[in-house]
């Protein structure tokens, strides 16, 4: 699969996900909106934590602006369909991935893990957007997810490149492989839900 080559995912999503998600698009859009909001918040947090890293600040400033634009666009899609934002939901996928960010040790090691976990979240989102683009019956939403898919792939690349900017490239590649394996196990063990983007 092409996206597995670009994004390096070890496991494709369960094909049942897009079938049940497309029948419950309100909940998917609500969850998607919060995913974009959290992605923007993560970028801001990294800027605040590592303000001395000039390239990181510059690239994540642009990324945050893009994620917030996506949040606004998802809100627009909700309103078009007569839906409200609703309350945030716990994202068990992200919660489990975050537990693998190592605490303590060198500051750069923590940064590497934070960047790579963010990269994996973007990669999985991209893969899910591709499924929605190809299979969702609503042509307008299909085009919407096509447009966002390329952006998420770019964010994955940006996060990995930033990790290699501040850490040894071979160490980053090795850690990415470890986290990809963990990410695949998380996806395998989570239930297939019709109200979650991940």
74: tokens are: 């998802």
Residue 89 backbone phi and psi in degrees, to 5: -115, 150
| pLDDT for residue 7 | 61
Contacts of 14 (CB under 8 A, 6+ apart): 192
Q: Out of 1-10, 37-46, 71-80, 185-194, which region has the weakest mean confidence (pLDDT)?
A: 1-10
- In this prediction, residues 123-132 reach a mean pLDDT of 92
What sign does the dihedral 163-1-150-183 (CA atoms) show?
A: negative
Residue-number span of the structural domain to which 109 is assigned? 21-189
- pLDDT tens track for 136-188: 888 999 999 999 998 888 999 999 999 999 999 999 999 999 999 999 999 99
DSSP, collapsed to helix, strand or coil, labels residue 85 as coil
CB burial class (10 A; 0-12, 13-18, 19+) of residue 3? middle
Q: Does residue 196 fall inside a structural domain?
A: no
- pLDDT tens track for 186-198: 999 998 887 788 8
CA 126, CA 141: separation in Å to the nearest integer?
Answer: 15
| pLDDT for residue 14 | 84
Tell me the pTM: 0.93
CA 133, CA 125: separation in Å to the nearest integer?
Answer: 12
Number of domains observed in the structure of the chain: 1
Phi-psi region of 84 (alpha: psi -120 to 50; beta: other; left: phi over 0): beta
Q: Does residue 11 fall inside a structural domain?
A: no
Q: Does residue 137 fall inside a structural domain?
A: yes
CA 181, CA 175: separation in Å to the nearest integer?
Answer: 10
What sign does the dihedral 180-173-56-4 (CA atoms) show?
A: negative
Q: Does residue 94 fall inside a structural domain?
A: yes
Looking at the predicted structure, is the pLDDT value of residue 5 above 90? no
Q: Name the average pLDDT for the chain.
A: 91
Looking at the predicted structure, is the pLDDT value of residue 4 above 70? no
CATH of the domain at 62: 1.20.1260.10
């Amino acid at each position: 699969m092409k996206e597995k080559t670009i994004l390096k995912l070890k496991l494709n999503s369960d094909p049942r996900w897009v079938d049940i998600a497309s029948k419950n698009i309100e909940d998917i859009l609500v969850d998607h909106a919060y995913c974009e909001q959290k992605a923007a918040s993560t970028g801001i947090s990294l800027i605040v934590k590592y303000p001395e890293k000039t390239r990181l600040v510059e690239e994540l400033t642009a990324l945050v602006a893009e994620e917030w634009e996506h949040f606004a666009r998802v809100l627009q899609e909700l309103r078009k369909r007569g839906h409200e934002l609703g309350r945030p939901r716990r994202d068990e996928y992200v919660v489990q991935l975050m537990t693998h960010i190592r605490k303590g040790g060198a500051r750069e090691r923590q940064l590497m893990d934070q960047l790579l976990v963010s990269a994996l979240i973007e990669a999985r989102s991209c893969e899910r957007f591709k499924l929605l683009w190809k299979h969702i019956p609503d042509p307008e939403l299909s085009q919407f997810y096509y447009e966002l898919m390329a952006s998420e792939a770019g964010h994955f690349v940006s996060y990995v490149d930033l990790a290699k900017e501040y850490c040894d490239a071979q160490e980053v590649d090795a850690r990415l492989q470890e986290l990809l394996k963990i990410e695949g196990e998380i996806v395998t063990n989570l239930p297939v839900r019709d109200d979650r983007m991940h």
